[in-house]
Amino acid sequence: MKIPGPEHPITINPNPNRIRVVFAGRVVADTARALTLTEAKLPVVHYIPRADADMTAFERTAHTTHCPYKGDATYYSLRVGDRVAVNAVWTYETPYPAVAAIREHLAFYPERVDSIEEHAAT
């Protein structure tokens, strides 16, 4: 386990906006409680509470990856009608303490869904 620091900073902040994820024309996640994770020079990632996702569109896969800063990620594919996006979603079920806030949250690969929309909160 590596600890985020000046050479590899990670910040997690509540996102004040509404985040919606659309796949195959269907909203599969919609929240006003997203967390935005910024990690070093990587693209920003929105983590959506699992409770704000339509888990009927999610299928757990056997795929896993490891991040030395966040821990072990597990994956879901999305299935809506005839469309499938393999391993389009990841989650850290037991993240390392430095990023514990992302537990019970889901992240989406932008290129595997129709859109990740961010709207100003009303």
Residue 112: is it exposed, middle or buried by C-beta count within 10 angstroms (0-12/13-18/19+)? middle
Positions in the chain whose pLDDT score sits under 50: none
Give the full edge-to-edge strand order of the sheet including 26-31.
Answer: 26-31, 18-23, 115-119
In the structure encoding, which two tokens stand for residue 99, read together?
């990023």
Structure tokens at 50: 């699992």
**pLDDT computed for residue 59 by the predictor:** 98
What digits encode the pLDDT tens for the residues 32-57?
Answer: 999 999 999 999 999 999 999 999 99
d(CA 93, CA 117): 24
What's residue 121's pLDDT?
76
Q: What is the pTM of this model?
A: 0.95
How many CB atoms neighbour CB 63 within 10 A? 13
Distance CA 18, CA 6 (A): 30
pLDDT score for 106: 98
Cα distances (angstroms) measured from residue 78 to each of 3, 10, 20, 44, 105: 32, 27, 15, 21, 16
